[in-house]
């Protein structure tokens, strides 16, 4: 597995959540984020994620592309 370094900006409450997941499970913050992403990927279809995106809206105003509907 090749890992790639990314830089993202997250809300404070999201970081607090990741810190809680990390502390509860004895993980680093980056491993906690990977866990949450893997759970999302395993339990939700792309259609479900697209529906949530429509309901919640785009949080980052810099994004101009709409998610594709697979």
Which helix (H) or strand (E) segment is 15 a member of?
A: helix 12-25
How many angstroms separate the CA atoms of 34 and 29, rounded? 9
Q: Is residue 3 part of a domain?
A: no
pTM of full prediction above 0.85: no
Per-residue pLDDT at 56: 85
**Which tokens is 16 given?**
């607090």
Per-residue pLDDT at 8: 86
Q: Is residue 23 part of a domain?
A: yes
Residues of the chain scoring pLDDT < 50:
none
Closest by alpha carbon to 29, among 19, 39, 40, 38?
19
**Which tokens is 22 given?**
């990390």
Per-residue pLDDT at 17: 97
Q: Is residue 4 part of a domain?
A: no
Q: Is residue 41 part of a domain?
A: yes
**Total structural domains within the chain:** 1
Per-residue pLDDT at 10: 87
Q: What is the domain range of residue 33?
A: 12-56
């Amino acid at each position: 597995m090749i890992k790639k370094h990314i830089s993202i900006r997250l809300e404070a409450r999201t970081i607090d959540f990741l810190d809680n997941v990390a502390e509860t499970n004895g993980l680093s913050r980056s491993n906690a984020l990977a866990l949450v992403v893997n759970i999302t990927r395993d339990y939700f279809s792309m259609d479900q994620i697209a529906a949530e995106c429509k309901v919640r809206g785009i949080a980052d105003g810099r994004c101009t592309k709409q998610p594709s509907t697979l």
